[in-house]
A and B are shown apart, each in its own frame.
With several copies, the nearest count.
Chain A
Amino acid sequence: MFITLFSCAAMAETSTQQDSILATIAEARLELGETAEHYKVKLPTFEGPLDLLLYLIRKEEVSIYDIPIARITEQYLNYVRAMRELDIAVAGEFLVMAATLIHIKSQMLLPRDPDAPEEEAEDPRAELVYQLLEHQKFKGAANVLHQRAMIEAATFTRASLETDKNNPEIAATTFQLFEVFREVLNRRRAITEIEIARDEMTMAEKIAEIKLALEERSEVSAREMFERARSRREMVLLFLALLELVKELVIRLKQSEMFGDIFIAKRGEPSDQVSEVGGQLPEGTDQSGNEPLTADHRPAATEL
């Protein structure tokens, strides 16, 4: 809270210096080689608050080890303010740094405890200086890396050979492995949702479905119908529905060869007589028909 209030005060204090900020910005723009044709004043972009601070320190030609904190803070706040004036979204990190700077500035203003031992009286700027130096080092390293990459990109390996198809490297990273896994799971979730929807299905609906299928085609493959079932429960329902329809003499089941597909056909059509194996179920189906019917399926069966 203290910091926020302080920050607002500091902003207000610097608001009269708008002209000098714009001058600074224009200067920075020229330094960055931006074209002067831009209608709007363009702010130099900084990767983050540390970048901006390094820029200001360089521009003011002050030592990084002895930063004139009041001056640099003012410049920094001017910049952040200008960003807002120009409707540039100010990233949170810039505001955090603004608060940090103001905090350091206030600490510098506090009188030092004269009784405190010399070594304990740490410079409030120390941590910031360390951070800036670290940041500076990595910027230097990034620059060297960039140069290396440029040189490397100028070298070429041999053209691919016929034998390169045997590349042992798996073209996937662990993150891709994870992404693939997640996709599979998402797909699975979608299927489960369908399953849940289908689980609501009653045997009456299954019977209606079989009848409807037989309206469209004279014969329906039982295998196809079973394959379409997405859960065990649906398979059981389908099976019960078929038994029910056979019992009611609505359909017959036909099998033209041993272990071949079983076809469902409406009873009473003349073509039935020709290829019919028998009104009874083939052996295999009969066995699975003995599978225990759970209690909650029975009422559905008797409903019909």
Chain B
Amino acid sequence: MTIEELKPIIESLIFVSEEPINEKQIAAILEGESAEAIEAAISELMAEYNERGGGLELRKIAGGYQIRTRPEHSEYVRRYLKSQPSARLSIAALETLAVIAYKQPITIPEILEIRGVTSTSAIKTLLDRRLIVARGHKQVVGRPMMYGTSKEFLIQFGLSDLSELPNLEDFEDLMSS
């Protein structure tokens, strides 16, 4: 198939998929199409969505692709859906999440070490909201459970993967200035 033929099919697949769909899943459906052709089609599609500047955008998120509304029009969309933004995470939960995101896999005692306060209730909240997952036991005394971030974390924070997290060293000099 030509890229022009691939594009509408890929767009359909991205649209119907409830979760972000990745190149591999797309390739499995479009048997015989090369990974390069699929990637090229996707990047053309993304460029088209950007140029058009309509209400929708095609974004890479949690390792896959998804069509979403642009944040600029959220006010109207919320009004229509009568949706409330979901409850904000507490500062404790956010900070705990940040430590987990950058230091994963990490145990509760290690988080305590960094944050200087116990984080168990924050961990509970984050588990309930499926932002973090258990990642197995650390092979040390007591075999504490290690935690890491989930796919849901990437989705809720609009990250394509963990490498997109802002560089931690950028926050180093906030104090000395």
Contacts and interface: CB of A to CB of B under 8 A. Distances in A.
Are A and B close enough to touch in the complex, i.e. CB under 8 Å? yes
Contacts of B77: 156
Contacts of B94: 142, 145-146, 172, 176-177, 180
B116 A50 contact: yes
B101 interface: yes
- The secondary-structure label for the interface of chain A is helix
B9 interface: no
Interface in A125-154: 131-142, 144-146, 148-154
B127 A181 contact: no
A140 B174 contact: yes
Nearest to A170: B156
Contacts of A170: 88-89, 156-157
Interface string B89-127: 101101101110110000000000011111000000001
B168 A141 contact: yes
A165 B86 contact: yes
A154 B74 contact: yes
Nearest to B69: A156
A174 B116 contact: no
Given A157-B16, A175-B166, A184-B114, 15 more contacts: A48-B116, A153-B156, A154-B71, A154-B74, A155-B158, A156-B81, A166-B84, A166-B85, A167-B19, A170-B89, A173-B127, A178-B171, A179-B171, A180-B95, A184-B95
Interface of B: 12, 15-19, 57, 66-71, 74, 77, 81, 84-89, 91-92, 94-95, 97-99, 101-102, 114-118, 127, 130, 133-134, 150, 155-159, 164-172, 174-176
21 contacts: A47-B91, A134-B114, A137-B171, A141-B171, A145-B97, A149-B157, A151-B158, A152-B158, A154-B71, A155-B69, A155-B71, A156-B81, A159-B17, A166-B81, A170-B157, A175-B134, A175-B171, A177-B101, A177-B157, A180-B95, A180-B98
Interface of A: 47-50, 54, 57-58, 63-65, 91, 93, 97, 131-142, 144-146, 148-161, 163-185, 187-188, 191
